Amino acid sequence: MDFEAISNKLLEALGGVDNIVTNEACMTRLRVGVRDMSLVNMEAIKSVDGVMGVVQSDTLQIVFGPGTVNKVLDAFTSLTGIPKGGSGSDVAAVAKHNKADQSERYGNPLQRFLKRVANIFVPLLPGIIAAGLINGIANVVNVATGGALGGTWWYETIRTMGWALFAYLPIFVGYNAVREYGGSPILGGIAGAACVAHASMPLLATNGDAQVLLPLTHAPYNPGSGGLVAALLAGALFAWLERRLHAVMPSLIDTFVTPLSVLALGSLALVLVLQPVGAVLTKGIYVVMEFVYERMGVIGGYVLAAGFLPLVSVGLHQALTPIHVMLNDPAGPTMGVNYLLPVLMMSGGGQVGAGLALFLRTKSKKLKGYIRDSIPVGILGVGEPLMYAVTLPLGRPFVTACLGAGVGGMLATLFHLGAISQGVSGLFGVLIVQPGQQAAYVVSLLGACACGFVLTWLFGIDDERIEELYGA
């Protein structure tokens, strides 16, 4: 595959280098921000070699699949001159130019907020995945060896990398949140740091034997009480404060007075308001998860698993990342066990089953080729190529895949499956489920696959639609 040629064609279809604002990638998608959507040729993008689909959101999300997207990004950034995850020089002007169009195009305020959350966490995914795998594998190793490697320098060095990301994740969330909302990222990083407990933090210091007490609660400050939610809210607030102050501050003193004022005023709001609000919202998330998972039981499992693929199809699944991170927090109510993730991972099984049924039933060579190329990575947990190239365009198989996934979600709930980390799914999910649950996880995944297969075989085949899209 000629990645330079692919990037050149993409750049032309996107309106040229002057129309590119940002470029970055997640596991399967090249995310490109553009100045003027009217210059973008969507059909030309879809016809580029390797492109499996395009999601039009606040950025254009061009689906290539795992591994491939990183090579495309390398070639693409060399053409645009914009760093990975970076932006051009006139982002503020572009944001102002597109504000009305974006508001009209991308739905209600809740949907736009979730897209912003996704944008905040997407650049963090490589670290979250790597650190999550380190923690998950280390937990399995500790159980299997009885902690025999504890105290070994190289083992503890690797474990430190897994610990570091989650210990200081609020800093990165705050940094990206301010950048997403149009402020100076470093100010958000400082806000996030205030959400990380550290023994030398002045607010946690003692005068004699007395701790510093806050005025409203008359209790000591608890840096981690609001968690990632407080860091995200603080980032949004700090960016808003900075923009407002820039607008009214005289140029002569703007450079140093504005950031000073943001930190001074923002810190008071963070400690007195945002941390308590973040704590309430965090607790609320746990309550909702507990209700759906524990009270609704298998019905809740079915709804969660069946509804996950539509979330992925519009790119909003990344908004669940902070929830997964909170559920994997060893200090949280679930003691670091994420009961939501295994249920959602059943969506991949439903899709694989639907793909297999289509492969066996269809006579279209082109469709068979797409399925043949997509099924292996689908089995390993990357379902987007199969979804964007096959099930979603056809419609019916997408619905039957969702319904089949719901059965897997019911089984995952019955088996009370829990993940000790995140970052992988599909067959690789056996690496992150709790030790001893691997067989139950495989049974649940096979159940989703079987039901997706049967439902698609019986109700998901539309030969006319297949011929229309892929030919005979």
Encode pLDDT of 220-246 as tens digits: 888 877 778 899 999 999 999 998 998
Which residues are CB-contacts of 261 (< 8 A; sequence separation ≥ 6)? 241, 245
pTM equals 0.68
423 and 130 Cβ atoms separated by less than 8 Å: yes
Amino acid (1-letter code) at residue 246: H
Amino acid (1-letter code) at residue 281: L
Residue 150 in 3-state DSSP? coil
Residue 356 in 3-state DSSP? helix
Phi-psi region of 406 (alpha: psi -120 to 50; beta: other; left: phi over 0): alpha
6 and 70 Cβ atoms separated by less than 8 Å: no
Helix ranges (DSSP H) in 122-226: 125-145, 153-167, 169-180, 185-193
91 pLDDT tier (thresholds 50, 70, 90): very low
Helix ranges (DSSP H) in 249-290: 251-269, 275-290
Q: Distance of CA 319 to CAs 55, 172, 409, 420, 460, Å? A: 16, 15, 20, 19, 30
pLDDT reported for residue 331: 64
353 pLDDT tier (thresholds 50, 70, 90): very high
pLDDT reported for residue 321: 76
pLDDT of residue 315 exceeding 70, the answer is no
30 and 23 Cβ atoms separated by less than 8 Å: yes
403 and 347 Cβ atoms separated by less than 8 Å: no
pLDDT of residue 391 exceeding 70, the answer is yes
Note the Cα 203 to chain centre separation in Å: 33
Helix ranges (DSSP H) in 23-152: 42-47, 68-80, 91-105, 109-121, 125-145
Q: How far apart are CA 22 and CA 86, in angstroms?
A: 6
Domain ranges for the chain, please list them: 3-106, 168-281, 298-470
pLDDT of residue 90 exceeding 50, the answer is no
pLDDT of residue 175 exceeding 90, the answer is yes
321 and 120 Cβ atoms separated by less than 8 Å: no
Q: How far apart are CA 16 and CA 353, in angstroms?
A: 40
Q: How far apart are CA 396 and CA 219, in angstroms?
A: 57
Element at 309 (helix H, strand E): helix 308-313
pLDDT of residue 117 exceeding 70, the answer is yes
Taking residues 107-120, what's their average pLDDT?
A: 70
pLDDT of residue 93 exceeding 50, the answer is no
First-to-final CA distance of the chain: 26
Which residues are CB-contacts of 224 (< 8 A; sequence separation ≥ 6)? 195, 196, 197, 331
CATH fold, domain 3-106, is: Gyrase A; domain 2 (3.30.1360)
Task: Please indicate whether residue 47 or residue 251 has the higher confidence score (pLDDT).
Answer: 47
Q: Give the tens place of pLDDT for each residue, 264-297.
A: 999 999 999 998 888 888 888 778 877 877 788 8
- Kindly tell me the number of DSSP H helices and DSSP E strands found in the chain: 22, 6
Task: Say which range, 19-33, 84-98, 114-128, has the weakest mean pLDDT.
Answer: 84-98
Exactly one of 26, 195, 449, 451 is catalytic; which is it?
26
Q: Distance of CA 71 to CAs 8, 12, 122, 128, Å? A: 13, 18, 17, 20
**26 labelled catalytic:** yes
Average pLDDT in the chain? 83
